[in-house]
């Protein structure tokens, strides 16, 4: 068999070609290394970016949630977990509605339904529960929700507006307090004006009755009739006193008193007023600061509050009285108009009676407002308490709900003076007259005529003037001595005090007696002039006027 010849294959490669191939391989290797490094750097940058995004997401000031269409939480940032006080692992898979206050769940569900169905952004405000806070804490949030492009999820952003809501509530409360205060001021002015005019009319009635009763030849039955009329007039002064109390213009005799002792002295009267079915508990505060008040006003406050509690309990119950020392700060003063920072004695009176609804609570201090039958009271009790507290530069709060009882808190300024004992200041039932000359200035003719008849019945010479201008002219024309000026405090053109100052320039020895349907306390600013201002409030009896005049002329007061 013949042998095949093998053809030799040339596999030789030139040196240059080899170098070229090696170079290309090296370049490719270098490119691969560079691409590897770039990929590693990109991965590192991506991880850093993701870490940064996660940090920004978790620690954002707003709560971020991803919710399914049924409200299930799919994702949440760290801020969101803090808002609810629950770990992320627990939140994810839970329904968001579980953490919404029950009263607000309808609002939240309506938002989620609207966002998914209409695929439009929406918002609402709800309150959330926080397991790490007491049940009284409610976080108020503003929710913005937007659905994703596929419509299967929605992104929810929660803004904490709790502080904003609290500020709004405080502002609203302050505005309501200011409105209430202005309303009460208007009522006080009205009550004061009514009482002032009413006292002038009572003065005329009482004066004429006294003049008639001073006539010796009266028949017994006529005298008895006049006596009954006089008693009716005096009883009517009780109503004007209450109106002046509401207006903070009634006559008072303040003194520094031990408040605990003052209340303790009245406890037996309160127990009798409350009856056997109501348990009275008195808890006096230790080392209680003194207050400067008229003792009769303390009795009025406690009697009216006790009577109010008795009517609210309507059966078996408890009335508790407590006293404390407190210091009020700027925040308290901001919420209570006309209150200044400082030390106060706090009186707390609580009953477990029927309580009051909001409408009743809003009107509880208004005069003539009452929930009782017309024959059970005139509705002046709590209005009187309010007037007394305000007159003594104090503050009163009332807290109540239907079925939970009522609590009154009364803040009275601390007094730094020494305690003074109560002294009797009764006048005599009879009084002597005199022969001095008196200048009587009164713009109400009927009151002027009665007062003149009073004074002349006791032997005085009386010059009368219906205005301050006439009084000045009379003084100028009268050459003899005038020992006493009796003037109404409120006169057209010039006040009684200014008239006294004018007359004192020509008659430095002239003494003064000021009269008014308001109280002497109403003219506190007038006393800054330094002029001595003895006062007699209307209506006054014939004996009271004579007694006061004699005291002034004899230098007793």
What string of pLDDT tens digits covers the 557 residues of the chain? 455 554 554 445 677 777 677 767 766 777 776 776 666 666 665 655 555 555 565 667 788 888 898 889 999 888 888 888 888 888 889 888 888 888 888 888 888 888 888 888 888 888 887 654 544 456 788 888 888 878 888 888 888 887 887 777 777 767 766 666 666 666 666 665 666 666 677 777 777 787 777 776 767 777 777 777 776 666 566 555 555 555 445 555 678 889 999 888 888 878 888 888 889 999 999 999 999 887 777 887 888 888 888 888 888 899 999 999 999 988 888 877 778 889 999 999 999 988 888 877 877 777 655 655 444 444 566 877 887 888 888 998 999 888 888 999 999 999 887 765 544 444 444 556 888 999 999 988 888 888 888 898 889 999 999 999 999 999 999 999 999 999 988 888 888 888 999 998 989 999 999 988 765 544 444 444 556 678 887 777 788 888 889 888 888 65
In the chain, helix, strand, coil percent, each to 5?
50, 20, 30
User: Do residues 192 and 247 lie in contact, with contact meaning Cβ atoms separated by under 8 Å?
Assistant: yes
How much is the pLDDT for 312? 87
Query: Which residues does 459 contact at the CB level (< 8 Å), separation at least 6?
Result: 433, 434, 435
Q: Could you tell me if 121 and 32 are in contact, meaning their C-beta atoms sit under 8 angstroms apart? A: no
Structure tokens at 387: 């007037």
- 437-553: CATH number: 3.40.50.2300
The answer as to CATH 3.30.450.20 being correct for domain 63-160 is yes
> For the whole model, what pTM was predicted?
0.44
Alpha carbon of 344 to those of 126, 330, 411, 531, 536: distances in Å?
A: 40, 14, 6, 32, 32
Could you state, in order of their start, the residue ranges of all structural domains in the chain?
63-160, 173-246, 255-413, 437-553
Q: Do 245 and 388 touch, CB atoms closer than 8 A?
A: yes
Q: Among 2.130.10.10, 3.40.30.10, 1.20.1250.20, 3.30.565.10, what is the CATH number of 255-413?
A: 3.30.565.10
Over residues 352-369, the pLDDT tens digits come to: 988 888 877 877 777 655
Do β-strands 511-516 and 535-537 pair in parallel, antiparallel, or remain unpaired?
parallel
Q: Which of 372, 407, 409 is nearest to 389 (CA)?
A: 409
Residue 315 to residue 309: CA distance in whole angstroms? 11
């Amino acid at each position: 068999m013949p042998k095949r010849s093998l053809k030799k294959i040339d596999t030789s490669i030139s040196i240059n070609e080899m170098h070229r191939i090696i170079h290309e391989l090296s370049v490719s290797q270098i490119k691969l290394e560079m691409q590897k490094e770039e990929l590693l750097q990109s991965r590192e940058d991506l991880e850093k970016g993701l870490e940064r995004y996660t940090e920004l997401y978790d620690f954002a000031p707003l709560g971020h949630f991803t919710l399914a269409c049924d409200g299930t939480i799919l994702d949440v940032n760290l801020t969101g977990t803090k808002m609810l006080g629950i770990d992320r692992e627990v939140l994810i898979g839970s329904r968001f509605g579980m953490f919404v206050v029950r009263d607000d769940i309808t609002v939240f569900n309506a938002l989620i339904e609207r966002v998914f169905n209409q695929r439009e952004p929406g918002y609402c405000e709800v309150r959330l529960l926080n397991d790490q806070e007491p049940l009284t804490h409610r976080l108020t949030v503003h929710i913005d929700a937007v659905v994703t492009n596929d419509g299967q999820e929605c992104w929810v952003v929660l803004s904490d507006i709790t502080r904003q809501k609290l500020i709004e509530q405080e502002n609203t409360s302050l505005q309501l307090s200011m409105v209430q205060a202005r309303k009460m001021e208007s009522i006080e002015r009205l009550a004061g004006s009514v009482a002032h005019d009413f006292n002038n009319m009572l003065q005329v009635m009482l004066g004429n009755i006294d003049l008639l009763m001073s006539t010796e030849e009266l028949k017994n039955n006529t005298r008895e009739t006049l006596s009954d009329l006089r008693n009716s007039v005096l009883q009517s002064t009780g109503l004007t006193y209450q109106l002046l109390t509401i207006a903070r213009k009634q006559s008072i005799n303040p003194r520094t008193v031990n408040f605990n002792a003052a209340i303790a002295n009245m406890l037996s009267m309160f127990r009798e007023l409350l009856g056997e079915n109501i348990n009275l508990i008195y808890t006096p505060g230790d080392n209680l600061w003194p207050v400067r008040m008229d003792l009769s006003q303390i009795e009025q406050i406690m009697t009216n509050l006790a009577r109010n509690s008795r009517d609210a309990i309507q059966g078996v119950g408890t009335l508790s009285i407590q006293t404390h020392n407190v210091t009020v700060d700027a925040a308290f003063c901001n919420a209570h108009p006309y209150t200044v920072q400082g030390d106060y004695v706090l009186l707390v009176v609580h009953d477990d009676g029927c309580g009051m609804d909001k409408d009743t609570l809003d009107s509880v201090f208004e005069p003539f407002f009452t929930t009782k039958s017309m024959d059970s009271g005139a509705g002046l009790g709590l209005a009187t308490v309010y007037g007394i507290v305000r007159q003594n530069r104090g503050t009163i709060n009332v807290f109540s709900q239907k079925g939970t009882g009522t609590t009154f808190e009364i803040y009275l300024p601390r007094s730094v003076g020494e305690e003074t004992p109560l002294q009797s200041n009764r006048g005599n039932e009879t009084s002597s007259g005199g022969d001095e000359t008196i200048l009587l200035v009164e713009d109400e003719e009927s009151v002027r005529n009665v007062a003149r008849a009073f004074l002349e019945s006791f032997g005085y010479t009386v010059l009368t003037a219906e205005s301050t201008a006439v009084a000045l002219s009379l003084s100028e024309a009268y050459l003899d001595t005038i020992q006493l000026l009796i003037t109404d405090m409120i006169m057209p053109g010039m006040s009684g005090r200014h008239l006294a100052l004018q007359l004192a320039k020509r008659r430095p020895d002239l003494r003064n007696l000021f009269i008014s349907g308001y109280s002497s306390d109403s003219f506190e600013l007038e006393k800054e002039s330094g002029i001595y201002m003895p006062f007699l409030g209307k209506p006054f009896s014939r004996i009271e006027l004579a007694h006061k005049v004699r005291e002034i002329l004899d230098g007793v007061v």
